[in-house]
C-alpha cells in the first residue's frame, strides 16, 4: 500500500434513483433519538429494516435493487466497475479505519461480495471485512463468480430492505 488514502478517493457521485424523502437527515436524526432499537441497528449496520426516510414507492424500488440501475452510467464513465465494494459516503470512511486503504485500491462496484453474501443482514464490520477480502483476492474468476451469485441475490431480494 502506498501512502494514506484520503476521502478524495471516494467516487464523486454514485447515481441512484431517489427513494427517500427530501428531509431524510432530519427524519433519521429524530427517529434514532426516539427509538433505542433503531439506534442500535443503525450503529451496527448503517441500515434500518423500517427506515422512516424511505417513500412507499422507494421501498419497492429498493427491494428490487432498481435504485442502483443509474450506476450503469457511472460504470460507463469509468467511475465505477461492475464488481467491487459498494460506494460509500464520507461518513463511512471512519468505519473502515485502517482498511480504507484497501477500499481505495479498487473502483466501487455495482455488485460484490457484500451484495451476494447477505447485504443488510450483515454488520458493517462484516461488510468491511468482505471488502478487504475482495481486494486481497481480486481476479477474473472471483468477479465472474460474484456476477453469477448476483442474479439470485437480486431475484430473491436476499438481505434487501
pLDDT along the chain (161 residues), means of 10: 41 81 94 96 90 94 87 93 92 92 94 86 91 96 95 73 56
Report the alpha-carbon distance of residue 134 to residue 137 in Å, rounded: 5
- Answer whether residue 68 is part of any domain: no
* Dmax (CA) of the chain: 47
pLDDT value at position 158?
A: 66
In a domain, 25, yes or no: no
Under DSSP, is residue 42 helix (H, G, I), strand (E, B) or coil?
helix
Q: What are phi and psi of 69, to 5 degrees?
A: -55, -40
Query: Vertex 161, ends 129 and 52: CA angle to 5°?
Result: 115
- Per DSSP, what are the bridge partners of residue 17? none
- What pLDDT was estimated at residue 75? 94
- Please report which helix (H) or strand (E) contains residue 85, including its range: none
DSSP 109: E
Is 66 within a domain?
A: no
| pLDDT given for residue 160 in this prediction | 59
106, part of any domain = yes
Domain count, the chain: 1
Asked if residue 160 belongs to a domain, the reply is: no
Predicted confidence at residue 159, as pLDDT, reads 58
C-alpha cell at 151: 442474479
Count of C-beta atoms within a 10 Å radius of residue 95:
14
Indicate whether this model's pTM tops 0.85. no
67 in a structural domain? no
- Rounded to 5°, the CA angle 137-138-142 comes to 90
By the 8 A CB rule, do 143 and 135 touch? no
What is the structure's pLDDT at 12? 61
Domain span including residue 107:
7-12+78-155
Q: Which residue has the cell 434500518?
A: 48
Amino acid at each position: 500500500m502506498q501512502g494514506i488514502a484520503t476521502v478524495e478517493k471516494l467516487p464523486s457521485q454514485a447515481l441512484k434513483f431517489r427513494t427517500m424523502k427530501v428531509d431524510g437527515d432530519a427524519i433519521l436524526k429524530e427517529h434514532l433519538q426516539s427509538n433505542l432499537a433503531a439506534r442500535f441497528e443503525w450503529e451496527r449496520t448503517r441500515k434500518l429494516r423500517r427506515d422512516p426516510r424511505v417513500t412507499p414507492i422507494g421501498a419497492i424500488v429498493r427491494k428490487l435493487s432498481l435504485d442502483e440501475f443509474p450506476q450503469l452510467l457511472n460504470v460507463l464513465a469509468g467511475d465505477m466497475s461492475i464488481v467491487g465494494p459498494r460506494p460509500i459516503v464520507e461518513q463511512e470512511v471512519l468505519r473502515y479505519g485502517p482498511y480504507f486503504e484497501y477500499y481505495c485500491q479498487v473502483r466501487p462496484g455495482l455488485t460484490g461480495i457484500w451484495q451476494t453474501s447477505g447485504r443488510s443482514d450483515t454488520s458493517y464490520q462484516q461488510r468491511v471485512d468482505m471488502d478487504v477480502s475482495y481486494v486481497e483476492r481480486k481476479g477474473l474468476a472471483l468477479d465472474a463468480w460474484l456476477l453469477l451469485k448476483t442474479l439470485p441475490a437480486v431475484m430473491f431480494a436476499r438481505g434487501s430492505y
